[in-house]
Amino acid sequence: MKIATIGLGYIGLPTAVMFAKHGQEVIGFDTNKEVIARLQSGFIHIEEPGLQEAFQGVLASGLLRPVSQLEPADTFIIAVPTPHTEDHSCDTRYIRQAVKDVIPLLITGNTIILESTVAPKTTTGVIQPMLEEAGFTIGVDVHLVHCPERVLPGQIMAELVRNNRIIGGVTPACASAGEAVYQTFVEGEMLLTDASTAELSKLMENTFRDTNIALANELVKLSTELGINALKVIEMANKHPRVNIHTPGPGVGGHCLAVDPYFITTAAPEQTPLIQTARKINSSMPEYIAESVETITNKAAKKVVILGAAYKGNVDDIRESPALKIAEHLQQRGIEVHVYDPHVAYYNMNPETAFANADMAIIATEHDEFKHLPMSLLTSMATMQIFDTKNIFEGVHEELTYITLGTLHRYTNCQQFQS
């Protein structure tokens, strides 16, 4: 089987590598010529544990070829970005362009798989008409499938193999064709369904998490007002066998949790008030953190260092990052902000410069490097205090003022119960 992967980003590249690792001939296509050139020289352009080594192996074997010109194949996997528009609806321009690129190469028996996360009815409402207008009968001439990615950055190589796969065919024959493709390496269960169900299932997976995190973040605001430790509340509540409140934080980032719920709400706004409210709560957290900094410092902070630019720990992905939004809100308040992230090249500044004379350090990303910080950096601060929005810091000592989303109430004007 020859597979063409279109889009070599955080999902497309690991997917291409995994198919090649399992003996398939793979071409990896991307419109970014710099990405292709880097890959052809043997180096990946994203951070993902185990990916560089695996990529070098399949590149050396010839099973994976990064190309700037799409070629005929048996299966075409579309893994291009699906950003949201100004009104938060799903922007399908990259998908439509990918389909336009594929159509001239299609022959009877080909399979087209969409892995990109999309709004409900995109596969049947956008891609299917394009293929039919080109003269193909879906399920007879070619097979059209939506198989959403369901992996966690930082664990992609393992989860591609281990996780269950939702395979949504436009017809039952399409679903079977998609199953045959992924059987080459997937050890998880193959969940065959229709394309629209697959689309909404993926969106609801992330919407569930976004909504649960919103509940936790609302609890932080509530507990701070009442003078109660929100993190202790969550710990106690989660002792119940049927309760699982998620972890609060400075907001929700990444292409999935911060974007996918909007694909649902814009498709059915009147039916989704809960999802919309959850999005508002999580989107409000970066400003809430900035306001808390002002409260803690009595508006005296002149310089703040933000630890982390990536949206989650130990990756280099800054898409929709709450950390960068916190920086914007602080800057709007006239505060000098230094963002330090050893995983992101643009923000991998000299930490000594970042910490020097800072009034506060905010841990906004759970990188392992931030669990402990050199004493020399802390003592160079104007005020030795850390606001840990991720509750990961392990170097607490008596000279350091250490604040979490659970103890925030102790540093505000709350006059109620202090616990």
Give 84's DSSP letter.
Answer: B
- Provide the 10 A C-beta neighbour count for residue 240: 9
**Burial (CB count <10 Å: 0-12, 13-18, 19+), residue 7:** buried
Residues 19 and 184: beta-carbon distance below 8 Å: yes
- Catalytic hit among 256, 312, 325, 390: 256
For residues 295 and 146, what is the distance between their CA atoms, to the nearest angstrom?
A: 48
d(CA 141, CA 156): 33
Phi, psi of 257 (to 5 degrees): -65, -35
User: Which of the residues 21, 90, 202, 221 is marked catalytic?
Assistant: 202
**Residue 90 among the catalytic residues:** no
Q: Known catalytic residue: 256?
A: yes
Instruction: List b or e across 25-46, with b for residues whose CB sees 16 or more CB atoms inside 10 angstroms.
Output: bbbbbbbeeebbeebeeeebbb
Residue whose token pair is 């996918």: 260
Q: What value, to the nearest 5°, has the Cα angle with vertex 92 and ends 106 and 189?
A: 70
Secondary structure class of 75 (helix, strand, coil): strand
Active site residues: 202, 256
